[in-house]
Amino acid sequence: MLTSLDLLVIAFMAITALSLLAALLMFLIRNKTVRRVSLYIVSALALYLAAMGFYIALYGFVGQALIALLAGAAAIGAVVLDIIGAKKGLDRLSLASRICAAAALVIGFINAIS
């Protein structure tokens, strides 16, 4: 019989595996469509982790709540950079958006588990 803590650990491991797979696809695949889809997946996961970290830290840990807000803003900024880079045809903005999304994901993970 699984307890609720066991289910929480299983859900966290699934989110971790999905995040790792999407982040690897975002940097290793050369197809631009797959890279953009994986960027959006990573950004959505980073936003989810930022929201989770914000709700956890809201009532006593103001510093962690601010870090969660910054991670969420970085995830949104990554998507905006990717859209601007795709419209103007700049590959450097696409790379910067992928790095920003990956950093937001890592910061969100660290903030959520600490």
d(CA 108, CA 71): 6
Contact between 46 and 72 (Cβ < 8 Å): yes
Positive or negative CA dihedral for 23, 35, 94, 27?
positive
For 21-33, what is each residue's pLDDT tens digit? 988 989 999 898 9
Q: What is the pLDDT of residue 57?
A: 82
Contact between 94 and 85 (Cβ < 8 Å): yes
Contacts of 109 (CB under 8 A, 6+ apart): 16, 19, 49
d(CA 31, CA 102): 18
For 44-86, what is each residue's pLDDT tens digit? 999 998 998 888 888 888 888 899 999 999 999 999 999 999 9
